């Protein structure tokens, strides 16, 4: 790679589904100077290779901010953020926000489900008596208030998805939920506001406020569970990071000085006493001991080391006192390389994900078209076989149903999460996997071997 070309790995804020990853990839790849871009929804990171003379990270960030996303990381002219800590903190905040909304939404959801079940059980099925008129009137005025809060407070991200779709012709799963719930709400509001004039033509008592509440509530619940899942997937990296030593005892001018690990330089002489971890990779220049290298090799038995032998950072000195000359520091140590390898493997895509990417490119537009075709079909064709009000009501139900049911956010998360967890668990057991493609090839090879 030439000096003007640069490769960076940046965390992304604002992704809500697999379609988001495709939208960001497509937008960034169109920019002049961006040579390659790979966005992983599971890790919420983008690996970007670009020409520094033609485009900057700030310009990339400006372009995707229009679509509701933003880039974060250590790069020029942007606020330096620690990728690991910041991403985790952001996920915790997001999780807390979803949890807060859910606590408020749960009573609304239960009321809505109760009303729907009562209506279905009383009229079509005859399981119990029809709801008294005074109770029905109470819920008739209560549900619009609940739906307004659900849509315009909890459902703001979905409404923003609709606005971005109108402005930039970019749609994701939030757009589908936003359009479905907004249309259901507006339809219901019109029926409520103009109940008397519309009564001869449409059954104005059949509104969809409860649908708006339940859909937004359960989608929010899904996002909460998804956030919890994604938060746990980073545990492997966190455990590897805890192995890193924070300070080192360095011999300078004949005096032992304790310094932070960032201040250790190549060729520094480091004192390691019994029971301490080796701070960095180096060579023993004085002393002998037994080292526990199980974090690297998986071997539980200590390994004898003496003058002239190499040692690995984060391994444990079991017995004697050692003087070590530092040969690798910072990102050059074996532990740092292992962490980077695990991060790269977790952020890589398996070949099977290529199919998902192709589907994501056309999935949302196709669903939108199918939803509107379904609505029109009920109105145009259905009105020949049933009253217009009934056809319109069924059309609305089908329209919202197509948009909401066709939100397979879990499908886009399943494979990346499986790769992250699999690579992380393997690293904890001393097995290093190069990338997701290697993992898939291993699975294929094991299947062939297991066949009789």
Helix (H, G, I), strand (E, B) or coil at 156: helix
Yes or no: say if 270 and 324 are a contact pair by the CB < 8 Å rule. Answer: yes
Nearest alpha carbon to residue 321 among 282, 288, 285, 280: 288
Q: Is the pLDDT of residue 86 over 60?
A: no
Helix (H, G, I), strand (E, B) or coil at 55: coil
Is the pTM higher than 0.75? The answer reads no
Predicted confidence (pLDDT) at residue 240 exceeds the cutoff of 60: yes
287: left (phi over 0), alpha (psi -120 to 50) or beta: left
pLDDT of residue 46: 87
- 142-201 tens-digit pLDDT: 889 999 999 999 899 889 989 988 888 888 878 888 888 898 899 889 888 887 777 676
| pLDDT per position as a tens digit, 413-426 | 666 777 777 777 77
- Which is more confident, 236 or 214? 214
Residues 399-424, buried b or exposed e (16+ Cβ, 10 A)?
bbebbbebbbbeebbebbbebbbbbb
The residue among 120 and 410 whose pLDDT is bigger is 120
Distance CA(184)–CA(316), nearest Å, equals 63
CB-CB contact of 411 with 353 (8 Å)? no
Cβ-contact 251, 271 below 8 angstroms = yes
DSSP-assigned beta bridge partners for residue 166:
none
| Residues pairing with 5 in the sheet | 51
Average pLDDT of span 369-380: 92
pLDDT for res 282: 93
What CA–CA distance (Å, rounded) separates 123 from 302?
Answer: 75
| Across 233-251, average pLDDT | 77
439: region left, alpha or beta (phi > 0 left; psi from -120 to 50 alpha): alpha
User: Which pLDDT score is estimated for 408?
Assistant: 55
pLDDT of 410 over the 60 cut: no
Give the least confident one: 255-264, 306-315, 389-398.
389-398
Residues 6+ apart with CB under 8 A from 59: 31
Residue 284 is predicted with a pLDDT of 92
Angle (nearest 5°) at CA 95 between 227 and 436: 25
54: pLDDT strictly greater than 80: yes
- Distance, in Å, from the CA atom of 166 to the CA atom of 45, rounded to the nearest integer, reads 27
Nearest CA to 368 out of 208, 180, 209, 222 is that of 180
For residues 213 and 240, is the Cβ–Cβ distance under 8 A? Answer: no
DSSP track, 58-109: HHHHHHHHTTT-EEESS-TTS----HHHHHHHHHHHHHHHHHHHHHHHHHHH
Distance CA 164, CA 153 (A): 18
Lowest mean pLDDT among 26-40, 119-133, 272-286, 377-391: 119-133
* CA atoms within 13 A of residue 278's CA, in its CB half-sphere: 35
pLDDT tens digits for range 265-297: 999 999 999 988 999 999 999 999 999 887 777
Say how far residue 160 (Cα) sits from the centre of its chain. 18
Which pLDDT does position 76 carry in this prediction?
A: 37
What value does the mean pLDDT of the chain take? 80
Q: Identify the pLDDT of residue 356.
A: 63
Tokens of 221: 């619940």
What residues contact 91, with CB distance under 8 A and at least 6 apart? Answer: 227, 230, 231
Q: How far apart are CA 190 and CA 383, in angstroms?
A: 20
pLDDT value of position 325:
92
407, 390 Cβ separation under 8 angstroms: no
On the question of pLDDT at 409 being above 80, the answer is no
Going from the C-alpha of 280 to that of each of 51, 81, 182, 328, the distances in angstroms are 34, 24, 57, 6
Reduced to 3 states (helix: H, G, I; strand: E, B; else coil), residue 304 is strand
Given a contact cutoff of 8 angstroms between Cβ atoms, the answer to whether 279 and 244 are in contact is: no
**What percentage of the chain reaches a pLDDT higher than 70?**
84
CB 10 within 8 A of CB 74: no
β-pairing, 316-317 vs 322-328, is unpaired
Degrees (nearest 5) of the Cα angle 400, 401, 405?
Answer: 120
What is the share, in percent, of the chain residues with pLDDT greater than 90?
Answer: 13
Mean pLDDT in residue range 403-413: 63
Helix (H, G, I), strand (E, B) or coil at 248: strand
Tokens at 309, concatenated: 């032998």
In angstroms, rounded to a whole number, what is the distance separating the alpha carbons of residues 269 and 264? 9
pLDDT at 81: 35
Residue 9: its H or E element: strand 5-13
Q: What is the pLDDT of residue 225?
A: 76
N- to C-terminal Cα distance for the chain?
Answer: 47
pLDDT of residue 73: 67
């Amino acid at each position: 790679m030439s000096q003007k070309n640069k490769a960076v790995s940046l965390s992304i804020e604002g992704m809500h589904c697999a379609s988001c990853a495709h939208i960001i990839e497509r937008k960034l790849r169109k920019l002049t100077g961006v040579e390659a871009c790979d966005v992983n929804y599971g890790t919420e990171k983008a690996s970007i290779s670009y020409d520094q003379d033609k485009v900057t990270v700030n310009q990339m960030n400006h372009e995707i901010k229009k679509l509701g996303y933003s880039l974060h990381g250590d790069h020029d002219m942007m606020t330096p953020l620690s990728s690991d800590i910041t991403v985790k903190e952001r996920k915790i905040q997001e999780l807390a926000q979803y949890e807060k909304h859910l606590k408020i939404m749960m009573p609304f959801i239960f009321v809505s489900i109760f009303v729907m079940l009562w209506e279905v059980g009383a009229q079509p099925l005859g399981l119990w008596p029809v709801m008294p008129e005074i109770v029905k009137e109470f819920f008739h005025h209560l549900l619009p208030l609940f739906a307004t809060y659900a849509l315009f407070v909890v459902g703001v991200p979905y409404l923003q998805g609709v606005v971005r779709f109108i402005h930039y012709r970019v749609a994701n799963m939030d757009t589908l939920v936003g359009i479905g719930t907004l249309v259901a709400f507006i339809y219901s509001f019109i029926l409520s506001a103009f109940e008397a004039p519309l009564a001869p033509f449409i059954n104005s008592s059949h509104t969809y406020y409860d649908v708006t509440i339940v859909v937004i509530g359960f989608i929010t619940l899904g996002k909460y569970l998804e956030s919890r899942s994604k938060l746990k997937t980073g545990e492997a990296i966190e455990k590897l990071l805890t192995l890193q030593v924070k300070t080192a005892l360095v011999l300078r001018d004949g005096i032992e000085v304790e310094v932070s690990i960032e201040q250790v330089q190549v060729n520094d002489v480091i004192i390691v006493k019994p029971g301490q971890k080796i701070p960095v990779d180096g060579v023993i220049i004085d002393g002998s001991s037994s080292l526990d290298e199980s974090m690297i090799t998986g071997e539980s038995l200590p390994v004898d080391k003496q003058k002239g032998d190499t040692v690995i950072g984060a391994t444990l000195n079991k017995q004697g006192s050692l003087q070590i000359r530092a040969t690798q520091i910072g990102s050059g140590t074996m532990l740092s390389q292992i962490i980077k390898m695990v991060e790269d493997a977790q952020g890589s895509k398996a070949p099977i994900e290529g199919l998902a990417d192709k589907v994501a490119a056309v999935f949302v537009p196709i669903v939108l078209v199918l939803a509107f075709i379904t609505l029109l079909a009920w109105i145009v064709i259905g009105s020949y076989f049933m009253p217009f009000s009934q056809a319109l009501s069924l059309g609305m139900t089908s329209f919202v149903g197509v948009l909401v049911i066709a939100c397979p956010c879990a499908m886009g998360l399943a494979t990346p999460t499986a790769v992250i967890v699999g690579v992380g668990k393997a690293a904890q057991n001393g097995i290093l996997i190069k990338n997701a493609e290697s993992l898939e090839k291993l699975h294929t090879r094991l299947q062939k071997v297991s066949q009789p």
